[in-house]
Homo-oligomer: A and B are copies of this chain.
Amino acid sequence: MGGFFGVASRTDCVSDVFYGTDYHSHLGTRRGGMVTTSDTGFKRSIHDISNSPFRTKFEDELPRHAGNLGLGVISDYEDQPLLIRSHHGVYALVTVGRVNNLDRLVRDALTRRGTHLSETKGTEENPTEVVATLINQQDSLLDGIRWAQRAIHGSCSLLLLTPDAIYAARDRLGRTPTVIGRKDGAFCVALESSALPNLGYEPVRDLGPGEIVRVTPDGVEVLEPPGDHLQICSFLWIYYGYPASSYEGINTESARNRCGQALARNHDVEADWVAGIPDSGIGHAIGYATEAGIPYRRPFVKYTPTWPRSFMPQEQRVRDLVASMKLIPIRDLIDGKRLLFCEDSIVRGTQLRDIIRRTFDCGARQVHMRPACPPLMHGCPYLNFSRSKSELDLAARRAVKELEGDASSRLDEYADASSDRYARMVQFIGQQLGLTTLRYQTLPDMVAAIGLPREKLCTYCWNGEALFEEV
């Protein structure tokens, strides 16, 4: 994924940019960056944050930053922010999203003599530099951003810093959120609204899909009004959004509580405790427990002092180890008990199977699992939050393969919770995971729990529907 935070202030913005970016740390594990601009020009820092928190890496450099305008970014892949000089002058750029037609855009750009990409690492282009190239193909920054939004297949939200202002653009269909905040003498732009309250910002409003604004210490000017169609990622509420954030006015923790409540309304088993798989499962479990009238307990606690981050290393083997090490079981709350767990979703199922096995090893009598969303049937083509090598790794698709001999057969039917095939698939997955019972949330219940009209939510992962765009 990735996240960004920008500030336009009447006073020095460095501290706000630093802490505001840090509050996006759960969205990326590889690179962090900051840029500020003042009379003496732009000052940029980029660091590897794969081994050490953002704050540790950047705090020594804060004295070298100064100015009233600045950006920060957490990135899972490329170096950001870039400092670009073009016929638009000098600007800094950060992006969040996924460019599916990167090769084509590079090829098109480089046919123009004189154009180059220099942020190349070995053989891979820096997608943010490619976005800059698109912006530079037009006469004005605004036209350039518009053109980039049109040319990119996938999604691209961005912040662009000039010596005078921050240009903020939400991706064309609003797949990722972008929120504006305000306090006395300053405006901020963030992906996560949870970055606002501790820095004193009040949320003003979310940008609409494809909206482009120009932010200065004096206000927010709309340069391009929002488009008609919203396709915000449902998974923000289910899994990776921060509990304290709201998107389209809907708070994540509350939506998770409602998800759990919805699951509980279909409650059909007896259990001693309801519990959540940390971190995202907790909000779901709390809602479930309340609704079902079963005590909420914590049979597993996450060892946050040293396994702090929600997002995982890219290498699967290390991800599994980390996942296993970070959760510590509490035998006293497990032994002899019937446990019902809420989980955000089942992706590959590998880590979950390990947790279930350990739960039984600690003496559990029954383990029930209630994922907060339907079975994942498709990889996400719009965002970069997991670079799974193959969507055939998905637990549901492996079940389909086992049952049909072909992992892509009759997917629509398998995605239909009222079908026999769906029932057999769920049964198969539950057996693979060693569960006592497994019951997924239905798509309508999930949509209702989030609370947005269904046509505004992207549900591609579950039903493969892409309302307004060809994949």
Contact = CB atoms under 8 A, between A and B. Distances in A.
Oligomer: number of copies: 4
Interface in A11-69: 19, 22-23, 25-26, 40-44, 51-56
Contact of A309 (B56, B119, B242, B305): B305
A183 to B, nearest CB: 13
A117 B24 CA distance: 28
A324 B132 contact: no
A137 interface: yes
Contacts of A139: 113
B243 A85 contact: no
Contacts of A243: 298, 301, 330
A384 interface: no
B115 A115 contact: yes
A118 interface: yes
A1 to B, nearest CB: 13
B110 A329 contact: no
A305 B25 contact: yes
Nearest to A251: B332
Interface string A190-206: 00001001100000000
Contacts of A137: 113-114
Contacts of A328: 23, 194, 197-198, 242, 244
A253 interface: yes
Interface string A300-344: 011111101110000000000000110111111100000000000
Contacts of A306: 22-23, 25, 53-55, 308
A195 to B, nearest CB: 8
A329 B244 contact: yes
B117 A86 contact: yes
Contacts of A310: 305
A82 interface: yes
A120 interface: yes
Contact of A129 (B106, B118, B132): B118
A331 B203 CA distance: 11
A262 interface: no
A203 B52 CA distance: 32
A400 interface: no
A266 interface: no
A448 interface: no
B198 A122 contact: no
Interface in A96-137: 106, 109-123, 125, 129, 132-133, 136-137
A117 B85 contact: yes
A290 interface: yes
A114 B133 contact: yes
Nearest to A279: B304
B138 A116 contact: no
Given A244-B329, A251-B333, A296-B296, 16 more contacts: A25-B305, A26-B305, A40-B122, A52-B53, A52-B56, A55-B306, A85-B118, A87-B110, A90-B123, A198-B325, A243-B330, A244-B328, A254-B332, A286-B295, A289-B296, A290-B295
